[in-house]
């Protein structure tokens, strides 16, 4: 297996990278439509925003405060919230923000020589939502994903310190004139962190070009993308082990930008990947040797002047010489990833890995989460709003043809349709109007449910089964569940990594030329999301749990057996109920993730509550309470509280009234 194939296996094929980039833009559109009436614009930045899927990458988000802005000159047409950029005396990459108009919060203003400035340190404290602040960002862990938030101020014009970047000679036509125009149109942002060498460090701001950098990264071809990831691998597996805080991925990105600008496009070919990697290492070597790494947009800003010194310089140079000598193949061979890169690796195994990487990538999950939020904007008393949102959502996809390829667009739209169904269900099952008034909306819902039913292996069918159960059509609900269980393939790609499933999936789906669209429709089994925004669209026995948790996800078979048990309970059919519960019990043993095991046990406890078997219910719910230390906060505390609440309702004999 050659170097490019190995790296594509680790970091994604050209098609996989293109999908990630499309999902980033889709997610951003969905977030900002969802919060369109607010005063902030959300930007997906960092590794995930640039389409890089590196292990344990943080999800970096910039919250641009649109009710404030930075201007270059003190003009007469100032607007409310304007601040004048005053260049820093210590570094060209930083500035101070002099308030010229508008009402900034009093607790972010610092007076310097009788003039009001926006203090970066006070700004971070004012907008703090977590206790963990590092640099310009706040950190938060939700489930297993880490998030970094930076609350910034937009600057719609290009800073004067970056003017040389606009006009400098580019013999290789990268970036193109069109890209430069787009970057200038988007401007830059001020993030709250000062130059450590400045006497005004607590009140200075760094000029951030994150949006411009994302535009440049998205323009990279597959060779440039793989070289960047190989540079990051070199940093992580070689340099950072000896000097963990010296170099960072931003310096590598800058190295690649300069190299791409100063080399011909014809050089960046897959068969020359090793040569391109060595050229970038030589550029980085030169930066370390001279202790000067110029910012790509502001070359006068030396980004490593506090990182490299004459003590560590020679050791890092030795490492870079060694990396240059052994090349990319050597880096791969001596990295931890080499264990999963056996030369005998077949194409079908590689295809499975890439399929799974896409189906459960943070890029896809984040985009789908924001689509759900997109449809949560529906008001309960507005019967037309849901369909209007669906139309607007489809219009967004049509208006941005570069965002989604047709293969993915179907699946994303299907997710929107399923969210639209839940919105309508929540609205209709909450309303107290006459059925005649809502008849057209019921017909619309049923039409959308039929479309969602065929979307993937489980999601649409579970929504259909939930709806028919809630409206009293339990026979139909049981039919839908039986269809789901009979059609559920033994090779369905879910969150568990079962070796037998993996082998069967590769035999059936890989190496046959199937599109990703086909694979998702026939083999993708994502968790089913239940959340408070659609509380009335879910069965009553779950409402306590949903209310406390706010949102959570169930393995599809867990929810299917749970619904089946509810239907048999309502039919008062103890034999079939026992069979469904036995399937639910057995499903616990099939789970590989602690959270799924706990949630399945919780479902069994709730069914026992509905049955009136209080002793068994308390035993199952008690086991949930004991096991919650195996899942991360804040879910462990919420699931504990949920279990205790159900037990309290049983002891007080209030469960039936809650139900």
> How do residues 382-407 score in pLDDT, each as one tens digit?
445 555 556 655 555 555 544 445 55
Contact 41, 154 (CB under 8 A): yes
Q: Which three-class secondary structure state does DSSP give residue 162?
A: helix
**CB atoms inside a 10 Å sphere around CB 220:** 21
Residues 427-454, mean pLDDT to the nearest whole number: 76
How remote is the C-alpha of 139 from its chain's centroid? 15
pLDDT at 36 over 60: no
pLDDT of residue 74 exceeding 70: no
| DSSP, residue by residue, 392-426 | HHHHHHHH-TTT--HHHHHHHHHHHHHHHHHHHHH
Going by pLDDT thresholds of 50, 70 and 90, the confidence category of residue 503 is confident
* Percentage of residues of the chain with pLDDT beyond 70: 80
Nearest Cα neighbor of 478 from 567, 366, 543, 574 is 567
Contact criterion met (CB below 8 Å) for 151 and 123: yes
Tell me the C-alpha distance between 485 and 166, whole Å: 60
Evaluate if residue 208 carries a pLDDT over 50: yes
Distance CA 82, CA 116 (A): 12
Give me the pLDDT at residue 380, please. 40
Cβ atoms 431, 462 nearer than 8 A: no
Residue in the block written with tokens 């896809």 = 364
Q: For the segment 576-619, what is each residue's pLDDT rounded down to a tens digit? A: 999 999 998 888 877 767 778 899 999 999 999 998 888 999 99
**Span 550-567, pLDDT tens digits:** 888 898 999 999 999 999
Beta-carbon contacts of 384 under 8 Å, excluding residues fewer than 6 positions away, are none
The β-bridge partners of 86 are 96
How confident is the model at residue 132, as a pLDDT? Answer: 82
Q: Please, what sign has the CA dihedral across residues 260, 266, 267, 268? A: positive
Kindly report, residue by residue over 182-206, the tens digit of the pLDDT.
999 999 999 999 998 888 899 999 9
Burial class (CB in 10 A: 0-12, 13-18, 19+), 611: middle
Residue pair 478/567 in contact (Cβ under 8 Å)? The answer is yes
How many angstroms separate the CA atoms of 355 and 501, rounded?
Answer: 14
Question: Which range (222-226, 235-239, 460-464, 488-492) has the least confidence?
Answer: 488-492
Residue 556 makes CB contacts below 8 A (sequence gap 6+) with: 457, 458, 459, 462, 484, 488, 494, 525, 526, 527, 528
Residue 475 near residue 572 (C-beta atoms within 8 A): no
What local confidence, expressed as pLDDT, does residue 338 receive? 43
Cβ 346 vs Cβ 284: under 8 Å: no
CA distance 339 to 335: 8
Mean pLDDT across the chain, nearest whole number?
Answer: 82
| Cα–Cα–Cα angle for 236, 323, 275, rounded to 5 degrees | 110
Lookup: tokens for 580: 């469904």
DSSP label of 235: I
Gap between the Cα atoms of 117 and 655, Å rounded: 58
Tell me how far apart the alpha carbons of residues 601 and 519 are, in angstroms, rounded to a whole number. Answer: 30
Query: 251: which residues sit within 8 A by CB, 6+ positions away?
Result: 284, 287, 293, 303, 304
Strand partners, 524: 493
- Judge whether 566 and 611 are in contact, CB under 8 Å: no
């Amino acid at each position: 297996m050659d170097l490019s194939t190995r790296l594509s296996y680790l970091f994604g094929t050209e098609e996989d990278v293109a999908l990630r980039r499309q999902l980033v833009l889709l997610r951003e559109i969905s977030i900002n439509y969802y919060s369109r009436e607010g005063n902030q614009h959300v930007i997906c930045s960092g590794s995930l925003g640039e389409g890089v899927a590196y292990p344990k990458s943080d999800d970096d988000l910039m919250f641009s405060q649109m009710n404030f802005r930075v201007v270059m000159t003190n003009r007469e047409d100032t607007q409310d919230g304007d601040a004048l950029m005053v260049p820093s005396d210590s570094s060209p990459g930083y500035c101070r923000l002099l308030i010229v108009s508008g009402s900034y919060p009093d607790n972010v203003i610092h007076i310097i020589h009788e003039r009001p400035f926006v203090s970066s340190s006070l700004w971070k404290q004012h907008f703090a939502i977590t206790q963990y602040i590092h640099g310009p960002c706040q950190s938060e862990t939700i489930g297993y994903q880490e998030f970094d938030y930076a609350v910034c101020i937009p600057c719609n014009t290009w800073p004067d310190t970056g003017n040389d970047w606009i006009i400098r000679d580019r013999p290789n036509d990268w970036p193109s004139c069109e890209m430069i125009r787009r970057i200038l149109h988007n401007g830059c942002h001020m993030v709250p962190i000062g130059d450590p060498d400045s006497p005004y460090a607590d009140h200075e701001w760094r000029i951030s070009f994150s949006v411009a950098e994302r535009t440049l990264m998205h323009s990279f071809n597959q060779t440039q993308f793989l070289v960047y990831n190989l540079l990051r691998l070199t940093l992580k597996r070689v340099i950072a082990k000896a000097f963990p805080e010296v170099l960072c991925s931003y310096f590598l990105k800058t190295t690649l930008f300069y190299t791409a600008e100063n080399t011909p496009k014809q050089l960046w070919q897959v068969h020359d990947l090793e040569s391109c990697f060595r050229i970038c290492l030589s550029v980085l070597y030169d930066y370390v040797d001279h202790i000067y790494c110029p910012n790509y947009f502001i070359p006068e800003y030396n980004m490593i002047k506090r990182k490299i010194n004459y003590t560590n310089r020679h050791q890092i140079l030795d490492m870079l010489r060694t990396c240059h000598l052994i090349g990319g193949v050597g880096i791969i061979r001596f990295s931890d990833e080499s264990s999963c890169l056996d030369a005998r690796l077949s194409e079908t195994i590689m295809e499975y890995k890439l399929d799974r990487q896409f189906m459960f990538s943070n890029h896809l999950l984040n985009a789908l989460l924001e689509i759900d939020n997109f449809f949560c904007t529906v008001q309960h008393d507005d019967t037309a709003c849901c369909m209007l949102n669906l139309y607007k959502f489809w219009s967004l996809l049509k208006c941005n043809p570069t965002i989604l390829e047709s293969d993915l667009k179907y699946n994303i739209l299907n997710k929107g349709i399923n969210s639209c169904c839940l919105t309508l269900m929540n609205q209709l099952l909450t309303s107290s109007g006459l059925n005649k008034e809502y008849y057209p909306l019921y017909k619309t819902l049923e039409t959308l449910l039929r479309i969602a039913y065929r979307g993937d292996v489980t999601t649409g069918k579970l929504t259909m089964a939930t709806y028919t159960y809630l409206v009293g059509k339990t026979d139909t609900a049981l039919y839908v569940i039986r269809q789901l269980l009979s059609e559920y393939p033994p090779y369905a790609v879910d969150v568990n990594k079962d070796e037998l499933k993996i082998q069967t999936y590769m035999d059936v789906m890989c190496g046959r030329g199937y599109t990703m669209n086909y694979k998702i429709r026939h083999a993708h089994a994502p968790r089913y999301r239940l959340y408070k925004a659609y509380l009335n669209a879910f069965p009553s026995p779950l409402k306590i749990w949903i209310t406390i948790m706010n949102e959570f996800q169930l393995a599809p078979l867990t929810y299917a057996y749970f619904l089946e048990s509810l239907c048999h309970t309502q039919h008062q059919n103890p034999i079939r109920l026992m069979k469904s519960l036995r399937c639910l019990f057995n499903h616990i043993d099939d789970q590989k993730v602690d959270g799924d095991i706990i949630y399945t046990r919780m479902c069994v406890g709730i069914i026992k509550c509905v049955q009136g078997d209080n002793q068994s219910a308390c035993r199952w719910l008690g086991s949930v309470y004991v096991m919650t230390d195996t899942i991360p906060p804040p879910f462990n505390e919420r699931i504990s509280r949920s279990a205790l609440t159900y037990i309290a309702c049983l002891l007080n004999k209030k469960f039936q009234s809650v139900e």
